[in-house]
Amino acid sequence: MLVIQLKSLQREFVKKLEFRCGQKEAFKFKNDNTFVKILETVREDDVFVVQTTMPPVDERIMELLITVDALKRASAKRITAVLPYYPYSRSDKKDQPRIPITAKLLADMLVTAGVDRVLTCDLHNPAIQGFMNIPSDQLKAKDILISYFKPIAQSGNVTVVATDAGSSKKAYKYAEELGTSIAMIDKRREGNDDRAIATHVIGEVKDNVCIIFDDEIDTGGSILETINVLKQNGATKIYAACTHGILSGPAIERVKNSNVEELVITNTVPLPPEKRIDKIRVLDISPLFGQAILKIYNGEGVGDLFEDKKMEF
Ligand code: R5P
């Protein structure tokens, strides 16, 4: 087995996986084209290419595709793209005229480049797995987040809050496992910009500690709106949690200045030092990826790493 890491910031993530890292060189020609060379033989190897996708996202996707092409042409036996965060996933349907479905486009590009299998985590929409005509495994950060919030949930009067109707099914699972009540925010987006508007709370949050769960926090607009609405409706303490802390643009300032007690994220997307603030706690998800990679390599089932023991939505 060979694990190849791409770009520097994810070294921490790959290092924690505790696998030997394959050597490669990558650089840009003066004309901005990327060149990749694998520096050891990969003939008949089971190769896992780990690509975390923080900005510059397009550049990282291109480097991944070029690396996979190089591995394929070097006779690797099987290539698994490990994408802790699957980028371009928020465009997953054609709900306006003349727009792309980038989640599907990326799936096609991975297959065209030569990817045989994808290992990812908490897709924005689980249907994205169906966009790939190759095997894919979707890990879930739920158990890691549940373990963290269990002691808080046991303190009583806790409500799990879904940021919108789309995330309510997931929130049900969290509430069920934490043994809390549930509430949902009526959230709308206007146009294609990043602005989210939260208006009402459906459910009871007055005098309650609220824990907001989302799949990702990007600009922090949705979470900020949610926090404000919960506060206006009498929540005492508010925690927020998500798998993918993208935290782009104004997100850090928004979190810093908000009424949130703590924002808990995982390291599917590395948090650069300049974005680390006291209010943000990062949980390490790399052991879960490490287990999945080993199981895939050994031809074992990975279902027990993401299967919901109770109801499935
Ligand atoms: C939306 O559908 C997602 O679940 C997240 O709520 C969204 O990606 C967060 O984006 P932002 O932080 O920019 O509001």
Amino acid at 203: G
Residue ranges, comma separated, of all CATH 3.40.50.2020 domains in the chain are 2-140+286-306, 142-283
136 in Cβ contact with 149 (< 8 Å): no
- Whole-number Å distance between alpha carbons of 139 and 88: 18
Nearest Cα to 53, choosing from 78, 76, 96, 82? 82
- What was the pLDDT predicted at 86? 98
- Whole-number Å distance between alpha carbons of 124 and 101: 13
- What was the pLDDT predicted at 21? 84
Residue 200 C-alpha from the chain's centroid: 27
Task: Give the model confidence (pLDDT) of 205-262 as tens digits.
Answer: 999 999 999 999 999 998 999 999 999 999 999 999 999 999 999 999 999 999 999 9
The 3-state DSSP class for residue 154 equals: coil
Residue nearest atom 6 in ligand 1 by C-alpha distance: 222
Q: Please give the distance, rounded to the nearest whole angstrom, from the Cα atom of residue 183 to the centre of ligand 1.
A: 17
Which residue reads 């949930």 in tokens? 153
Summarize the confidence of residues 283-309 as an average pLDDT. Answer: 90
Which atom of ligand 1 is nearest the CA belonging to 225? 14
Residue 200 pLDDT grade (very low, low, confident, very high; cuts 50, 70, 90)? confident
CATH class of 2-140+286-306: alpha beta
Residue nearest atom 5 in ligand 1 by C-alpha distance: 216
Which range has highest mean pLDDT (166-170, 208-212, 297-301)? 208-212
* Residue 245 CB less than 6 A away from ligand 1: no
Q: Given a cut of 80, is residue 188 above it in pLDDT?
A: no
* Residue 196 CB less than 6 A away from ligand 1: yes
- Whole-number Å distance between alpha carbons of 243 and 282: 10
Q: Which of 88, 122, 217 to mutate to test the pocket of ligand 1 (most atoms within 8 A of CB)?
A: 217
In order of 79, 150, 155, 159, the CA distances from 182 in angstroms are 41, 15, 16, 5
Q: Element (H or E) spanning 202, and its range?
A: strand 196-202
Which atom of ligand 1 is nearest the CA belonging to 163? 6
1 in Cβ contact with 7 (< 8 Å): no
Residue 224 C-alpha from the chain's centroid: 19
- Whole-number Å distance between alpha carbons of 50 and 121: 13
Domain 142-283 adopts which CATH fold? Rossmann fold (3.40.50)
47 in Cβ contact with 71 (< 8 Å): yes
- What was the pLDDT predicted at 9? 47
* Residue 46 CB less than 6 A away from ligand 1: no
Summarize the confidence of residues 46-57 as an average pLDDT. Answer: 93
Q: Which of 214, 226, 244, 268 to mutate to test the pocket of ligand 1 (most atoms within 8 A of CB)?
A: 214
- What was the pLDDT predicted at 34? 96
Residue 189 pLDDT grade (very low, low, confident, very high; cuts 50, 70, 90)? low
Q: Note the maximum CA span of the chain.
A: 62
Q: Please give the distance, rounded to the nearest whole angstrom, from the Cα atom of residue 68 to the centre of ligand 1.
A: 30
Give percent of the chain above pLDDT 70. Answer: 90
Q: Given a cut of 60, is residue 162 above it in pLDDT?
A: yes
- What was the pLDDT predicted at 312? 45
User: What's the token pair of residue 142?
Assistant: 């739920």
- What was the pLDDT predicted at 193? 64
Which residue reads 């949902």 in tokens? 184
Q: Given a cut of 80, is residue 12 above it in pLDDT?
A: no
Residue 287: phi and psi, rounded to 5, are: -60, -35
User: What's the token pair of residue 183?
Assistant: 């509430």
CB atoms inside a 10 Å sphere around CB 196? 21
70 in Cβ contact with 36 (< 8 Å): yes
In order of 15, 70, 96, 121, 171, the CA distances from 267 in angstroms are 13, 28, 33, 11, 21
Q: Please give the distance, rounded to the nearest whole angstrom, from the Cα atom of residue 266 to the centre of ligand 1.
A: 16
DSSP state of 275: G
Q: Please give the distance, rounded to the nearest whole angstrom, from the Cα atom of residue 34 to the centre of ligand 1.
A: 31
* Residue 216 CB less than 6 A away from ligand 1: yes
- Whole-number Å distance between alpha carbons of 117 and 67: 15
Q: Please give the distance, rounded to the nearest whole angstrom, from the Cα atom of residue 216 to the centre of ligand 1.
A: 6
Which atom of ligand 1 is nearest the CA belonging to 251? 12
205 in Cβ contact with 235 (< 8 Å): yes
- What was the pLDDT predicted at 7? 55
Task: Give the model confidence (pLDDT) of 99-144 as tens digits.
Answer: 999 999 999 999 999 999 999 999 999 999 999 999 999 999 999 9
User: What's the token pair of residue 256?
Assistant: 């810093």
Contacts of 67 (CB under 8 A, 6+ apart): 4, 6, 24, 26, 36, 38, 49
- What was the pLDDT predicted at 311? 45
Q: Are strands 46-50 and 2-5 parallel, antiparallel or unpaired?
A: parallel
Amino acid at 161: V
